[in-house]
A = this chain, B = another copy of it.
Amino acid sequence: MTQELVEKLRELLGNDGVLTAEETAQRSAGFLRADTLQARALARPKTTDEVAAVLRLCSQARCPVVTQGGLTGLVHGADCTPDHLILSLERMNCIEEIDPMQRVAVVQAGVTLQALHDALERHDLAFPLDLGARGSATIGGNVATNAGGNRVIRYGMTRTMVLGVEAVLADGTILSSLNRMIKNNAGYDLKQLFIGSEGTLGVITRVVLRLAERPRSQNVAFVALSGFDAVTGFLKHMDRTLGGTLSAFEVMWREFYELVTTPPAASTPPLPHGSAYYVLVEALGADQEHDAARFINALEAASEAGLIADAVVAGSDRERAAIWAMRDDVMQIARHGWPFTFDVSLPIATMEAYVAGVRGELAARWPDHHCWLFGHLGDGNLHLAVHTGDAADRESVERIVYEPLKAIGGSISAEHGVGLEKKPYLHLSRSPQEIALMRTLKNALDPNGLLNPGKIF
């Protein structure tokens, strides 16, 4: 059975278009993973028509298919088993068009985020999605997981940047919805089905992305605050005062700040340790001189209003990069061994009590634990890293972190998706009616359950 499918795939894609199970097992299973890919085979189509033909073959053979991009996901959303065929979009990595007037890019799903950023620089345009895994993460993966990142407060999630999608359905039907306009209300907006559904409803092959003019000014400050009310007040103040240019509002709880500014971390602390909260605030605009003056005025007003305790404004590109590098040095959380990591969202008004509750439970059970908190506060998005020293504590920690979210309307996944990792907790964020409707959609689009089986619900 497997051999027959592999033979047919070879006929279709050529010898270098198919990796056997043995060849596939040479490849890493992904970012931060020690294991390798276990699958029947790995198919590497070069065109949408080839993807469609692969899916028709798999549909006939009832072979489950796991689509893979850059393997930078964090929730086991692209995991496979020896029964699965891996469909890799790695050879569909062409930026087909950049249109500076319409301000759209048409790209194949396998293009990396970094490659798109590089190409746009030459056109003085920007694709505002940005995240740490940019060098490996693909546009197809970003769209399939509705990736977030640092500038969601200004530009939204990936969903808001996608104008059109070409996807192949489980039966091999090519659905080409490559819309280029910001407004198109001609019937159901089908692309929304594929965005954020983690490869369970179709295989994304091409995407039309909305671009922005490249910002010409960047202002960054790092601020210390003494209480959570000050943090939320400062967010509102900056958003109002900067009039649409606020692009990042990254909060660090004190333990995280100390972690990323003490050796072996490379960063030195731009402000003294000891405050309760620290915020990296950024504005992107069009005129460095005017925007810098406005940015500093906004900070001075925040200081006069008693919102912020201390602040440092980056005075050069080097200083701006240094502050961002400190924020992005999240690998420091592995200092004592790899911790349990979480990506949740919750209403801002509930955040302080939620954090206190989680910390209280952690401290009661593991007096020597570490808990680092940081996140995109403007989006309600909190990242937690918890280290207890024992991998067997995972489920207990998960319950402590996830279970309180149900009562406060929070989400077990802000931006990472569900995959296999969060599937046991989906019921905390979604009602039985919602999960039933997800199943209805899955059954309607993929009645044999062949696309990324077992993920999400």
Contact = CB atoms under 8 A, between A and B. Distances in A.
A414 B181 contact: yes
Contact of A102 (B181, B196, B347): B347
The 5 A-B residue pairs whose C-beta atoms are closest, nearest first, are A243-B286, A243-B285, A192-B192, A444-B444, A183-B414
Nearest to A178: B409
Name the residue in A244, A436, A437 with the highest tally of chain B Cβ atoms < 10 Å from its Cβ.
Answer: A244
Interface string A188-231: 11101101110001000000000001111100000000000000
Interface stretch (A152-160, A323-331, A355-363, A388-396): A152-160
A185 B437 contact: no
A284 to B, nearest CB: 7
A426 B284 contact: no
A72 interface: no
A10 interface: no
A430 interface: yes
A411 B189 CA distance: 12
Interface of A: 99-103, 124, 145-146, 148, 152-154, 156-157, 159-160, 169, 173-190, 192-193, 195-197, 201, 213-217, 232, 236, 239-245, 284-287, 290-291, 294, 345-349, 376, 378-381, 409-418, 422, 426, 429-431, 433-438, 440-441, 443-445, 456-457
Main secondary structure on chain A at its contact with chain B?
loop
A287 B440 CA distance: 50
Given A181-B347, A181-B410, A245-B244, A187 B285 contact: no
Nearest to A425: B186
A229 to B, nearest CB: 9
A184 B429 contact: yes
A444 B446 CA distance: 12
A228 to B, nearest CB: 11
Contacts of A216: 240, 243
Contacts of A347: 99, 102, 180-181
B185 A416 contact: yes
A125 to B, nearest CB: 10
A184 B145 CA distance: 11
Given A187-B430, A349-B102, A441-B444, A179 B243 contact: no
Contact of A182 (B179, B379, B409, B445): B379
B294 A186 contact: no
A120 to B, nearest CB: 14
Contact of A187 (B182, B187, B291, B434): B434
B176 A291 contact: no
Given A160-B156, A175-B433, A433-B176, A185 B196 contact: yes
Given A102-B348, A184-B414, A179 B409 contact: yes
Given A185-B414, A242-B286, 8 more contacts: A100-B236, A101-B236, A181-B346, A181-B381, A181-B410, A182-B381, A187-B426, A189-B192
Name the residue in A160, A213, A435 with the highest tally of chain B Cβ atoms < 10 Å from its Cβ.
Answer: A213
Contacts of A195: 189
A190 B437 contact: yes
A100 B232 CA distance: 11
Contacts of A411: 179, 181, 183-186
A212 to B, nearest CB: 8
Contacts of A193: 188, 192
Given A189-B192, A444-B440, A99 B349 contact: yes
A18 B290 CA distance: 60
A346 B184 CA distance: 9
7 contacts: A146-B185, A152-B183, A174-B433, A182-B345, A186-B412, A186-B418, A440-B444
Contacts of A190: 434, 437-438
A436 B444 CA distance: 12
Contacts of A244: 154, 215, 244-245, 284-286
A183 B415 contact: yes
A405 to B, nearest CB: 9
